[in-house]
Each structure stands twice: as structure tokens, then as C-alpha cells.
Amino acid sequence: MAVREPRGRGGRRPTLEQVAERAGVGRGTVSRVINGSPRVSDRTRALVEAAVAELGYVPNTAARALAADRTDAIALVVPEPERRFFAEPYFSEIIQGVGQALAETEVQLLLTFAGGHKERRRLAQYLGAQRVDGVLLVSVHAGDPLPDLVDQLGVPAVISGRRSADERLPSVDSDNFGGGRAAVEHLVERGRRTIALITGPLDVYGARRRHEGCLAALEAAGRAADPELVAAGDFTEEGGRRAMAELLARRPDLDAVFAGSDVMAGGARLVLREAGRRIPQDVALVGYDDSVIARHMEPTLTSVRQPIAEMGREMTRLLLDEIAHRSADRPASATGERRQLVLATELVVRDSS
Amino acid sequence: MAVREPRGRGGRRPTLEQVAERAGVGRGTVSRVINGSPRVSDRTRALVEAAVAELGYVPNTAARALAADRTDAIALVVPEPERRFFAEPYFSEIIQGVGQALAETEVQLLLTFAGGHKERRRLAQYLGAQRVDGVLLVSVHAGDPLPDLVDQLGVPAVISGRRSADERLPSVDSDNFGGGRAAVEHLVERGRRTIALITGPLDVYGARRRHEGCLAALEAAGRAADPELVAAGDFTEEGGRRAMAELLARRPDLDAVFAGSDVMAGGARLVLREAGRRIPQDVALVGYDDSVIARHMEPTLTSVRQPIAEMGREMTRLLLDEIAHRSADRPASATGERRQLVLATELVVRDSS
DNA sequence: CATCACGGTGGGAGCGCTCCCACCGTACCG
DNA sequence: CGGTACGGTGGGAGCGCTCCCACCGTGATG
């Protein structure tokens, strides 16, 4: 007759204590071996490792977290209200990168959905309740209070994309300036004379940098920046349509368009087609993001690729670094380490230009 | 001069004990209030709640997990080696659904990447080490040992898609049979006479069911299933190309194609175009999945939509149910509850048919 | 008026681990 | 040859919570 275990499922797992007994050593020694302390003799270490293997011992996360005040978990905070965030491959790729960086460690990834303002406040509380060792914040809005809230709570955090030129928090960004510049340089090289620009919302730092890159490329090519050739979009397809219609009305002679996102480029394409302009013969079109849309558009869309998976990877590394430093009582922020990363973008040339 | 806290960041958070003292009650009573036990008088409850609010108390997850042997977290196991999994919106949508279902609860979502076979084994260990209360398994292969491993460990699990007709584990599937049938019915209604089928790998249960649905629709329309009009693909674009070329060689008179996935439909489209067939005038094309590709293909692709987000939601509900039942010492598996869900699919008609 | 039942409550024990202090022995020093 | 240093080790204390048992008071019961 099977004896019923006190509680829980599938029988109790072995504890540190049991491993210690089996190896004929003390609890502290086993703990030292498990945690890779150098202060253990080789003989003892081998003994303990054998016992661990025999018993199939796995440390209890909860107990460790409670005793050591460290969870070996980080959270990726997802701004859920934005469906856009899910629709674009951005999300998947970021997670892919995070997963890769985490694979080399014992750290777990927690997904947290931050909805409205109250939920964000609740989230902040939870973060304070030692649920995770650090936080990855993606797709942060300019005026979002969350990053600073998290920072004040003393929770290590890394954000994707700087919110401004003088970002204080550790961050990983892609080279928006270089990306915008490369797109326009490409159009110039292709012999395009009248290049129109559809920008993203300019209060978003990344969108503004893209635009500044475009302007720099134009200037380098000896062309004056023409306000008639610039229209602001809002990263939506509809916004791209509106901007394109506007530009076409003002300057029917344009022969190239750079849109600050693929989605806006998609909207622009529809307007161009309706106006009877052929792509790329009459008008060259370049987008930004190198999203799925770009590869499946007709014609396929030239676009600027951001290394999103790599951003996820670097964000994670930065965060793990910060966590390690803080637990060693010397925040990386105080060691003058580089905590702002900017990764290169790449122009992917396809049929639309 | 600020007194340095013993350890950890940002000062200690209030504990149950402190709340108890503040409220002038015992520790047990506070615990009861926090956990919503009915065995507390209204007066006392109000007292405790006030103290909780004043102190901004949040229970320590680790301590609770240790004491109660329950983590209030579930894991979504992601089969990482498949890049396909990330590329398709499947992943994002599943997570979206899971997030929605979890939003109503206090349960956290852990993302676990299961790479090769050893990593899966390691994963199984961790699952046993009370890291999570349950597991969501997505995109499970036919011969994958993981589901049974998890089950043997006694960890509640729900899988997406049945592995066979007599799936034992709780699962949420979409109506692949109905989806395949609807696609072919649609082609029949459109007056197509010679309907070719590109199947997925038939050892994948879902793919086989789709195919069986197709055959059922053909039979219902009084058409014999013609082996010449069936070719097997492997869910890749290249596989779709090969299958389409084969079909076209065998039956140049075909006027409709159903592909078991949008990606294969994409491959088929290229071959059809090269062969000078117009879509939909000469050949109607229908895909499956209603992925981003479908919306951006030229012409836009008619496709069968699976309610993926809803599947994520239902999987989560099923899992939370199972967890609740088990902790109440009566597994849902023993109560004869329905643990296999099949959700309806929907045909989205676009320009390709 | 003693007895019982029961809603309501306090607090001990213990979950499995890390941290840290005490201690042991050996090697090296003056 | 006593003193000091130090690598190596054992185990007590405690992390913050839940569980459960003992207990208290009240009102119904015999």
C-alpha cells in the first residue's frame, strides 16, 4: 500500500539536507557546491556532485528566492493595449533574442502585460515584491511614467529605444539616424531627383532620428531640405495614405518616397497605384522595419532592417550585468560602464527602388 | 544619516507580521484576509484591509510558494528550434490569448524555451522542481516525448492540437476537418470542376484532418476523390512549389487548388504564375491559417482562419481549472469533465477564389 | 445552570534554502 | 614550540509565508 505523501504532487523531491546526508557532508557544503563556490576541496565536491546526480536533486526555486532575496527571473513588460505590438514581428523577434541570451543562464523569463494606468501601478508593486530581479521594458512611450517608477523602486531595468537624446536608463537602440540616412542615400544613388519623406510622429525619438538621418543624407548630396516634400504620418497605413496624397498634391513631380515604417509605405503604395504611378519605374518606394509586409508586398519593398533579435539579446545581457553588479553592491551605473547601446541598421534592397 | 538596510534593494517591504501588528490582530488572521477566507468577521477584515492599504503590503511570492507549495505561475513551453514558430503570427496570438485569460487572475506567465532533447529533459526536471503550477504545450510534434514526460511528473498540462484522435491529455484544438471541408465547399460553390489538394504532412494529425475534411466535401458534392489531384507538401513554401508543379504536370486542366497552409499556397502561387495561369480567373487558390501572408499576397488569399488567440485563452482556462481541481485533491481528470476542446474555424474569402 | 457546538482567532511549526559564524586542522611564522 | 593564518567545513538562524491545532467566547441545548 502506497504511503500518501504529506502534500503536493508526485512525491517530494530531494532536499539539500538529503543530498548532504547522502554525501556525508554538511548542508552548507552542498550549498557551496551547488552555487559553485571555490571554497570546497575537489574531493568533497566530487562526493557532493555524485550524490546530486544519484538523487536527481534540483534546488527549490522558491526556497532559494526566499533565503537569498533573488529570483533568477526577469520580466519582459509588454504594453498590451497596443495590438500593433503583437501584429508586428517586433515582439516575436525581441523574445527570440531574449531567449537566446537567457539560454546560457539559469534565468527564467516572465511575461507581464501592462494594460492601463492602474495595471501599471499594480505591476510596479509586484515588481517591488521581489518577484523578479530585473525588468525589460519594450516599446516605451515618450511620456510613460513606468520606466521612472521602476527605477525609483530600485529594480534594475533596461529599455528598448531611448526616449530622448539624454536617456538616463540603460537602453538598447538601433541606429535610426543611420537607417534614415542610408535609405535616402540609396535613393540618391539610384538617381532619384525629387525625394519625398513620410515621417513618423516626430515626438517619438526614434522617428525623429530617422528623419534627421534623411535630412543629413539630402544635405550631403547637396540638396536643400524642401518642406513641401515632407509630410508627417503616425505609423499607420491610413496615415501613410494621407501623407502620400498630400505629397502628391503638392509635388506631382516627385520620383521617390521614403516612409518611416513599412506599414506607412503600404498605405503610400495604394495611393501611388491609384494615381497611376508605377513602382519603381515612376516612383521609388523605401520603407522602414523590414517587416513581413515588405517581403510580401508587390513589388517587394526595399526597407531598413533593425536587428531586433540582437536588440533583445543585448538588452538581456545589459540587464543581467546590471543585476550582477548590484548584488555585488556596486551598481554598474556607478562604475561608468557603457549602458547605452546603439546597434547598426541595414538597408535591404528589393524591387521597389 | 540613513541607516543601511540589511540587504536587498530599495529598503525592505512590509511583511505579514507587520501588517498584523498594525491591525492589532494575529498573523493567521491577516493571512486569512489576504487569501479571501470566509472565516473572518467583517470588522476584523476591514481592520486588516486598512492596514494592508496603509503599509502598501504585497505578499512575498517566494515565501508563499515555499510554504504553500504553489507558485501562482504557469509556463508556456516554446519549441524554440522551430524558427517557423516565431515567424508565424501563431506565437504572438497564442500569447495574446493566454495573457487575456491570465489578466483576470494573479497567475504569472513564464516563457520556457525547449531546444534539443537534453534541454527538454532539463526542462522536465525544472518543471518538477515546483517552479510552476502547470504547463501549456504548444506546437507539439507527433513523437514528442515531452507531453508524456510532463504528465508522468504529475504536472498539470494542456496541449494545443491533439496528437491523435484519442488524445489523453487535456487539449484545445481547432476544427481542422471543418476547415478543410469549408474550403473545398467554397470552391465547389464557385463552380470549380477540377479541385486539386496540396496536403500538409499526413502524419501530423491536424493536417490529416484537414485533408479528410476536403475529401468529405468532395464526396458530398458527388465527386470521386482523384489521387492524381492530391499531392503532399511539408508546410514549407518550397514544398508547396514542388507539389503544385507535380499537380500541374499530372492535371493541366485543374481549375482550383486548396493548400493546407498559406505558406504552401504562396509557393503554389509562384508556380501557377510561372505557368501563365491567372488567379483566380484560371485557377482559384485557397490557403489555410489566414496568416499575414494571406492579407498581403497579390491577389489577396482566401484562407481558413483558426481562432488562435481564443485557443490560447481556452488552454489557459483549462489549465487553471485543472490546477484548481488538483489542489482540491480531485483531479479534473477524475471528474469526467470535458477536457478536449475543439474550436470552430472560419473561411475568409478574398480575391484568390 | 452545566454542557456543547461553532464561528472566530492567535501563534507554533515548518517549507528548503542561504548566510554567516564558529571551529577544525594543517602549514607557516617568529 | 607557541602563535598566527587560512583553506575548508558544519550547522544555527532566519527569510515570510501557510497550515493547523488549540483556544476563546457566545448562544443554543439538555
**B248 and B242 Cβ atoms separated by less than 8 Å:** no
When pLDDT is averaged across residues B247-270 and rounded to a whole number, the result is 96
When pLDDT is averaged across residues A316-336 and rounded to a whole number, the result is 77
What's the distance, CA B165 to chain centroid? 18
Question: Is some CB atom of chain B closer than 8 A to the CB atom of A53?
Answer: no
pLDDT on residue B3: 32
| Average pLDDT taken over every residue of chain B | 89
Widest pairwise Cα distance in chain A: 90
Q: Choose from B52, B98, B113, B127 for mutation: most chain A CBs within 10 A.
A: B113
Summarised one tens digit per residue, pLDDT across range B34-83 is 999 999 999 999 999 999 999 999 999 999 999 999 999 999 998 766 56
C-alpha triplet A289, A293, A297: angle, nearest 5°: 125
Indicate the pLDDT class of residue A2, thresholds 50, 70 and 90: very low
A292 CA to C24 C1' distance (Å): 67
Distances, alpha carbon A313 to alpha carbons A307, B36, B274, B332, in Å: 10, 41, 41, 40
Would the pLDDT of B108 be above 70? yes
Q: Choose from A130, A150, A329 for mutation: most chain B CBs within 10 A.
A: A130
Q: At A176, list the grid cell.
A: 535610426
Alpha carbon of B91: minimum distance to chain A alpha carbons (Å):
8
Nearest nucleotide to B69 (CA to C1') is C15
Question: Is some CB atom of chain A closer than 8 A to the CB atom of B167?
Answer: no
Indicate the pLDDT class of residue A145, thresholds 50, 70 and 90: confident
What's the distance, CA B13 to chain centroid? 37
Name the E strands within B183-240: 195-199, 230-232
CB contact under 8 A, A130 and B61: yes
CB contact under 8 A, A59 and B129: yes
Domains and CATH numbers, chain A: 16-57 (1.10.260.40), 73-173+309-343 (3.40.50.2300), 176-305 (3.40.50.2300)
Summarised one tens digit per residue, pLDDT across range B160-204 is 999 988 899 999 999 999 999 999 999 999 999 999 999 999 988
Residues in chain B: 353
When pLDDT is averaged across residues A169-175 and rounded to a whole number, the result is 96
**B286 and B341 Cβ atoms separated by less than 8 Å:** no
Indicate the pLDDT class of residue B115, thresholds 50, 70 and 90: confident
Would the pLDDT of A139 be above 90? no
Using alpha carbons, select from A265, A195, A205 the residue that is nearest to residue A230: A195
A35 CB and strand C closer than 7 A: yes
When pLDDT is averaged across residues B250-274 and rounded to a whole number, the result is 96
pLDDT on residue B6: 38
**B333 and B134 Cβ atoms separated by less than 8 Å:** no
Would the pLDDT of A343 be above 50? yes
When pLDDT is averaged across residues A297-326 and rounded to a whole number, the result is 94
Would the pLDDT of A122 be above 80? no
Question: Is some CB atom of chain B closer than 8 A to the CB atom of A203?
Answer: no
CA distance A120 to A114: 5
Would the pLDDT of A5 be above 80? no
Q: At B254, list the grid cell.
A: 485543374
pLDDT on residue B131: 85
B-facing residues of A in 286-305 (CB < 8 A) are: 292-293, 296-298
CA distance B195 to B221: 12
Distances, alpha carbon A221 to alpha carbons A182, A187, A224, B74, in Å: 12, 11, 9, 56
pLDDT on residue B334: 54
Name the residue among A93, A103, A153 with its Cβ closest to that of B113: A103
CA distance B198 to B229: 8
**A39 and A32 Cβ atoms separated by less than 8 Å:** yes
Name the residue among A62, A153, A326 with its Cβ closest to that of B65: A62
Would the pLDDT of A16 be above 60? yes
Of A112-121, A168-177, B94-103, B310-319, which gets the smallest average pLDDT? Answer: A112-121
